[in-house]
Amino acid sequence: MLGPIVSCFILDSGASWRWIFWVMTIFAGTCTLIVVPTIPETYAPVILMEKARRLRTSDPVKNKDLYARLEKEDRSLKGVISRTIFRPFKMLALEPILLLTTLYTSIVYGLIYVCGYYLNSNFRCTHPPFSATDAAHYFH
């Protein structure tokens, strides 16, 4: 919500348009440095893996055969490539609702980008450049 306003103030200050991306990068980096250490792990397989590891260290004799499914996954290059590259295409081929949703979304995004391109070129020809004070009109 603050992006257009901050961007207009950056451009009105005489800075290059590249500073908009630098400010976004600094803001995203700051948020990442704050969030990563403070948010707990919520992915269930990782939580189970940590629990199994903790149980094995607490009583190694009793829990020596206790492993989480994530620890038993194939971590070779072939296994990683199979999971990260081929699995999405397999899902796309085997799940008809995923295929239909993907086609619909791609058509909608294509139309949005085409309309955005032509509206932007028409808007530049008929309206003066945007300033920081103009941005306040969009946020009543």
For the chain, domain boundaries: 1-39, 41-73, 74-128
Residue 54's pLDDT is what? 94
Determine whether 79 is exposed, middle or buried from the number of CB atoms within 10 Å of its CB (0-12, 13-18, 19+): exposed
| Cβ atoms 6, 23 nearer than 8 A | yes
Query: pTM, whole model, 2 decimals?
Result: 0.51
pLDDT in tens, 70-108: 898 888 999 899 889 999 999 999 999 999 999 999 999
Tell which residue, 30, 28, 67, 26, has the closest CA to residue 49: 67
pLDDT in tens, 22-49: 999 999 999 999 999 999 999 999 999 9
**CA angle 95–97–102, rounded 5-degree value:** 100
Q: How far apart are CA 140 and CA 136, in angstroms?
A: 7
Q: How far apart are CA 67 and CA 56, in angstroms?
A: 9
